[in-house]
A and B are shown apart, each in its own frame.
Chain A
Amino acid sequence: MSKPVSALEGASYQGFAKVEEVGLRGMITIRGDLKSAGMKKAAAAATGLDVPGQREVKLDGDTALAWMSSDELLAMVPYAEVDDRIAAIDKALKGKHYLAVNVSDARAIFRLSGGNAREVIAKLSPVDMSSDAFGLGQIRRTRMAQVPAAFWVDETGAIMVVCFRSVAQYVFDLLKGAAENGNQVGYLN
């Protein structure tokens, strides 16, 4: 068995906000009927969390369950437990029309912390990042400069960013550039 490594092996940068690649995170794409009883069971079995509503993310420490579209969820779980969690989903949705796939190694995940973390995102995505418009429990899929990305705010106020692994370096460089000291805009707090 080869040793799994994350895209940037934990690269980090300290500017006016801190950018860190979080490392390996188990991620499962789940598609199916989000309103069904089976999906509720599958969500609970895989993450212990409820099925999130439109554009919501349910959080419990490093475990999360995010609404990606009207028929898609993204479960985030410990990397080593993905196969077990998928088995639990398969059991809960047996016989139903659904899909549960391990996408852990197809993604990269970043953590953005510090007082002005929102400002870093606001420079890169066409999204209102004021805390009134975007708060805890919401997830936003959008673009970050030229690539798709999704982000949410965690309980500590840090912003978690998920993107495709193939563009991990690009996204890290974007975040780094936007977080560079002296580049504060000071519009969002």
Chain B
Amino acid sequence: MLILTCPCCGVTGEETEFHAGGEAHIKRFGPGSDDEQFHSYMFAKENAKGVHFERWRHNNGCGKWFHAARCTTTLEVFGTYSAQTYEPPKEIKDKISARRPGWSWREFA
């Protein structure tokens, strides 16, 4: 069971109050992109064992979207942060580094 804290309303709840929204920080390619770009956007996902970044929605609460950084093997949640960002904030990356030195995930480390 994941315990998430919604950064929008401050509620700390268990995962049944939330809804997972897939991988975070995906750069979208739509009209005008080439096949390779669209393919990687659509199908090439991280499927990480360890540190992972996801989008979540507080669907049974304030209704807002946010980001979560967590470990897929232990279900440890390193932190949650605003949906209005293209990359994990430094504070979150520092928290992960403290728990999983040397981690990397796509272009982030």
Contacts and interface: CB of A to CB of B under 8 A. Distances in A.
Interface of A: 54-55, 68-70, 72, 126-127, 140-143, 148
Contact of A55 (B11, B14, B16, B17): B11
Contacts, number: 38
Interface of B: 8-11, 13-14, 16-17, 59-64
Contact of A142 (B8, B10, B13, B64): B13
Residue in A55, A69, A72 with the greatest tally of chain B CB atoms within 10 Å: A69
Contacts of B9: 54-55, 69-70, 141
A140 B60 CA distance: 10
Given A54-B10, A55-B10, A143-B16, 18 more contacts: A54-B9, A55-B9, A68-B62, A69-B9, A69-B62, A69-B63, A70-B8, A70-B9, A70-B62, A72-B63, A140-B11, A141-B11, A141-B62, A142-B11, A142-B60, A142-B61, A143-B17, A143-B60
Nearest to A69: B62
Contacts of B62: 68-70, 72, 141
A165 B16 CA distance: 22
B67 to A, nearest CB: 16
Given A54-B10, A55-B10, A140-B11, A69 B64 contact: yes
B64 A126 contact: no
